[in-house]
Amino acid sequence: MTRIIAGTARGRRLAVPPAGTRPTSDRVREAAFSSIESDLLAHGIGWSQVVVLDLFAGTGAFGLEALSRGASGAAMIEKSRAAARILEANLATVGCPGGNVLVRDARQLASTPPQVQANLCFADPPYDWSARDLKDLLTRFADSGWVQPEALVIAERPAKDADCPLPDATTDVRRRPYGDTVLWYGRFEGPGPTQPRPPERPLR
């Protein structure tokens, strides 16, 4: 069972596609958001100032969790139309404003003009993706402006892969294992933070 852990939608259950996705476990998501909240507190940032880019969104659990906690916006990218329909249903279940589902392949979207300027980015690609492929994708999203300077970037990877998947222009890199899963954290370098722009209308 996948559910929202905290915030206004706490306890609400999320539907999961019967195949083709691998939802982040509640345990790992709870650990991730504990780290995120510590990071936000350290930088004097409130949830209302957070805009999320959720890549390979699947059920949307990460972006929806952020919205439940008060994030001002979340762009959730999922290329599978079947999964995206369930994600949209989950968005309605959570009932939080600011969420958009973009039904596109992240690799095609990465170099297009940004529809958000996120200061929190989460990526959970299929485990057959290499760390290099994910690093390249995240770099393209950052270079094209989807991820703003000083954004917190988090990637979920299989624990057996020891290679860092974060862009080279990332500081304060941390690796946190949770059984077969590992989360990589880092802060994307840049000239300084800009005001995050909430998601525009979804691409179809």
**Pairwise CA distance, residues 151 & 149, whole Å:** 5
C-alpha to C-alpha distance for 83 and 104, rounded to whole angstroms = 12
Taking the whole predicted model, whether its pTM rises above 0.85 is answered as: yes
Q: What ranges do the domains of the chain cover?
A: 2-16+23-188
Task: List, for residues 34-72, the tens digit of each pLDDT value.
Answer: 999 999 999 999 999 999 999 999 999 999 999 999 999
Query: How confident is the model over 100-156, as pLDDT tens digits?
Result: 999 999 999 999 999 999 999 999 999 899 999 999 999 999 999 999 999 999 999
DSSP 96-163: -TTEEEE-S-HHHHTTSPPS--EEEEEE---TTS-HHHHHHHHHHHHHTTSEEEEEEEEEEEETT--S
Q: Enter the tokens of residue 167.
A: 């862009």
**Are 94 and 67 spatial neighbours (Cβ–Cβ below 8 Å)?**
yes
List pLDDT tens digits, range 176-197. 999 999 999 999 985 444 444 4
Q: Within a 10 A sphere around the Cβ of 22, how many other Cβ atoms?
A: 15
Q: What is the CATH number of domain 2-16+23-188?
A: 3.40.50.150
